[in-house]
Protein backbone atom coordinates (compact mmCIF):
# COMPACT_ATOMS: atom_id res chain seq x y z
CA UNK A 1 0.00 0.00 0.00
CA UNK A 2 1.33 3.41 -0.96
CA UNK A 3 0.49 6.39 1.25
CA UNK A 4 0.73 9.97 0.04
CA UNK A 5 0.61 12.80 2.54
CA UNK A 6 1.19 16.52 2.38
CA UNK A 7 0.23 19.59 4.36
CA UNK A 8 -0.71 23.12 3.38
CA UNK A 9 0.28 25.48 6.19
CA UNK A 10 -0.78 29.11 6.60
CA UNK A 11 -0.95 31.43 9.54
CA UNK A 12 1.25 32.35 12.47
CA UNK A 13 4.12 30.56 14.10
CA UNK A 14 3.32 27.65 16.40
CA UNK A 15 4.30 29.59 19.55
CA UNK A 16 2.50 32.82 18.66
CA UNK A 17 -0.57 33.63 20.82
CA UNK A 18 -3.14 35.96 19.32
CA UNK A 19 -6.13 37.34 21.26
CA UNK A 20 -9.22 38.24 19.22
CA UNK A 21 -13.02 38.51 19.64
CA UNK A 22 -14.09 36.92 16.37
CA UNK A 23 -13.08 35.87 12.88
CA UNK A 24 -14.42 34.81 9.52
CA UNK A 25 -12.26 32.05 8.09
CA UNK A 26 -11.90 30.46 4.65
CA UNK A 27 -10.77 26.84 4.85
CA UNK A 28 -10.06 24.82 1.70
CA UNK A 29 -12.08 21.60 1.90
CA UNK A 30 -11.76 19.68 -1.35
CA UNK A 31 -13.79 16.51 -1.74
CA UNK A 32 -12.00 15.48 -4.94
CA UNK A 33 -8.63 16.11 -6.55
CA UNK A 34 -6.50 15.13 -9.51
CA UNK A 35 -3.11 13.45 -9.29
CA UNK A 36 -1.67 13.02 -12.75
CA UNK A 37 -4.44 11.47 -14.82
CA UNK A 38 -6.28 9.98 -11.84
CA UNK A 39 -9.25 11.57 -10.08
CA UNK A 40 -9.75 10.82 -6.39
CA UNK A 41 -12.69 11.40 -4.06
CA UNK A 42 -11.90 12.18 -0.43
CA UNK A 43 -13.68 12.12 2.90
CA UNK A 44 -13.55 15.66 4.33
CA UNK A 45 -13.76 16.57 8.02
CA UNK A 46 -13.11 19.99 9.57
CA UNK A 47 -12.17 20.24 13.25
CA UNK A 48 -12.75 23.37 15.36
CA UNK A 49 -10.88 23.55 18.69
CA UNK A 50 -11.53 26.33 21.21
CA UNK A 51 -7.99 26.74 22.52
CA UNK A 52 -8.87 29.40 25.09
CA UNK A 53 -8.46 27.99 28.64
CA UNK A 54 -11.08 30.31 30.19
CA UNK A 55 -13.76 31.54 27.80
CA UNK A 56 -16.32 29.99 25.46
CA UNK A 57 -16.65 30.93 21.80
CA UNK A 58 -19.77 30.83 19.63
CA UNK A 59 -19.57 29.34 16.17
CA UNK A 60 -22.10 31.46 14.24
CA UNK A 61 -21.68 30.05 10.73
CA UNK A 62 -20.39 26.95 8.98
CA UNK A 63 -21.17 27.18 5.27
CA UNK A 64 -19.91 24.81 2.54
CA UNK A 65 -19.29 26.10 -1.01
CA UNK A 66 -18.38 24.39 -4.28
CA UNK A 67 -15.42 25.35 -6.48
CA UNK A 68 -17.52 27.98 -8.27
CA UNK A 69 -18.36 29.74 -5.00
CA UNK A 70 -21.97 28.51 -4.91
CA UNK A 71 -23.37 27.76 -1.45
CA UNK A 72 -23.98 24.01 -1.18
CA UNK A 73 -25.06 23.70 2.45
CA UNK A 74 -25.40 25.67 5.69
CA UNK A 75 -24.37 23.46 8.61
CA UNK A 76 -25.77 25.63 11.44
CA UNK A 77 -29.31 26.84 12.03
CA UNK A 78 -28.34 28.51 15.32
CA UNK A 79 -25.01 29.40 16.98
CA UNK A 80 -22.99 26.55 18.48
CA UNK A 81 -21.31 27.28 21.83
CA UNK A 82 -17.87 25.75 22.34
CA UNK A 83 -16.84 25.92 25.98
CA UNK A 84 -13.24 26.60 27.00
CA UNK A 85 -10.94 23.91 25.55
CA UNK A 86 -13.87 22.14 23.82
CA UNK A 87 -13.87 20.95 20.22
CA UNK A 88 -16.28 19.88 17.50
CA UNK A 89 -16.06 18.46 14.01
CA UNK A 90 -17.97 18.90 10.77
CA UNK A 91 -18.18 16.07 8.24
CA UNK A 92 -19.01 17.06 4.68
CA UNK A 93 -22.49 15.58 4.19
CA UNK A 94 -22.61 15.81 0.38
CA UNK A 95 -19.14 15.29 -1.12
CA UNK A 96 -18.74 16.99 -4.49
CA UNK A 97 -17.07 15.17 -7.36
CA UNK A 98 -14.90 16.42 -10.20
CA UNK A 99 -14.39 20.15 -10.72
CA UNK A 100 -17.13 21.08 -8.22
CA UNK A 101 -15.19 19.43 -5.39
CA UNK A 102 -11.59 20.30 -6.25
CA UNK A 103 -11.70 23.79 -4.74
CA UNK A 104 -14.64 23.33 -2.39
CA UNK A 105 -14.33 25.25 0.88
CA UNK A 106 -15.97 26.24 4.15
CA UNK A 107 -16.56 29.73 5.46
CA UNK A 108 -16.55 29.52 9.27
CA UNK A 109 -17.55 32.43 11.52
CA UNK A 110 -17.03 32.60 15.27
CA UNK A 111 -17.37 35.23 18.01
CA UNK A 112 -16.69 35.68 21.70
CA UNK A 113 -17.75 38.26 24.29
CA UNK A 114 -14.11 38.43 25.46
CA UNK A 115 -10.77 38.51 23.71
CA UNK A 116 -9.74 34.86 23.48
CA UNK A 117 -6.90 32.78 22.12
CA UNK A 118 -7.86 32.21 18.49
CA UNK A 119 -9.24 28.71 17.85
CA UNK A 120 -7.34 25.99 16.04
CA UNK A 121 -9.21 24.96 12.91
CA UNK A 122 -8.01 22.41 10.39
CA UNK A 123 -9.33 20.09 7.73
CA UNK A 124 -8.45 16.41 7.49
CA UNK A 125 -8.95 14.57 4.23
CA UNK A 126 -8.54 10.87 3.58
CA UNK A 127 -9.26 8.52 0.74
CA UNK A 128 -8.37 5.27 -0.89
CA UNK A 129 -8.15 4.13 -4.47
CA UNK A 130 -7.34 0.50 -5.10
CA UNK A 131 -4.27 -0.22 -3.00
CA UNK A 132 -3.36 3.46 -2.58
CA UNK A 133 -4.32 5.43 0.49
CA UNK A 134 -3.83 9.16 0.82
CA UNK A 135 -4.40 11.92 3.34
CA UNK A 136 -3.73 15.62 3.68
CA UNK A 137 -4.62 18.58 5.88
CA UNK A 138 -5.57 22.20 5.26
CA UNK A 139 -5.62 25.28 7.45
CA UNK A 140 -7.78 28.40 7.27
CA UNK A 141 -7.08 31.87 6.02
CA UNK A 142 -8.50 34.77 8.03
CA UNK A 143 -10.71 36.90 5.77
CA UNK A 144 -12.16 39.12 8.50
CA UNK A 145 -11.23 39.71 12.14
CA UNK A 146 -12.54 41.51 15.21
CA UNK A 147 -9.55 42.23 17.43
CA UNK A 148 -11.27 44.87 19.61
Evaluate if residue 148 carries a pLDDT over 90: no
pTM: 0.84
Task: Give the pLDDT confidence of 17-47 residue by residue, as tens digits.
Answer: 889 999 999 999 988 887 788 778 889 999 9
Q: Which helix (H) or strand (E) holds 100?
A: helix 99-102
3-state secondary structure of 99: helix
User: What CA–CA distance (Å, rounded) separates 31 from 25?
Assistant: 18
Q: Are 110 and 66 in contact (CB under 8 A)?
A: no
| 112 contact partners, CB below 8 Å, separation of at least 6 | 21, 22, 52, 55, 56, 57, 58
User: What CA–CA distance (Å, rounded) separates 91 from 136?
Assistant: 15
User: What CA–CA distance (Å, rounded) separates 141 from 63?
Assistant: 15
Short-list 81, 104, 105, CA closest to 24 = 105
Task: Give the pLDDT confidence of 67-113 residue by residue, as tens digits.
Answer: 999 999 999 999 999 999 999 999 998 888 888 888 999 999 999 99
User: What CA–CA distance (Å, rounded) separates 109 from 57?
Assistant: 10
Cβ count within 10 A of residue 85: 12
Amino acid sequence: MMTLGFSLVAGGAAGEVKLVKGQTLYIPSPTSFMAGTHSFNVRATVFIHNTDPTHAINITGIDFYNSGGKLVEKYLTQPLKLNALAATRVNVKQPLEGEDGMAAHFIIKWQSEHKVVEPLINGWFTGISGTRGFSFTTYPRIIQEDAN
